[in-house]
Amino acid sequence: MPTKTVVVGSAVGLHARPAAIISEAAGDLDSEVLIGIPGDEAVDASSALMIMTLGAGNGATVEVSGDDQAAVDAIAALVEQDLDA
């Protein structure tokens, strides 16, 4: 399963607005993508509520994984951006 480790770029972390943007993008993909704190259970990236339960703040390290490398890369790129700017 392709996995990519990235640092949360949003100034407020993975809260409402960034989580909504990420979940919408993940929902538009043809494959399931998971996101999680290393060592903890990953959650469905297409659920904004589940993303927010991670409690990942700015600068936190998260792992994005899934069956499709392109989908993992797309979601990982969003996580790295400041989506609250």
Rounded CA gap, 9 and 18, in Å? 10
Q: Is 12 among the catalytic positions?
A: no
Q: What is the phi/psi pair of residue 29, to 5°? A: -80, 160
Q: Of residues 6, 13, 14, 15, which has the active-site annotation? A: 15
Rounded CA gap, 70 and 57, in Å? 25
Instruction: Give the residue numbers annotated as catalytic, written as ranges.
Output: 15
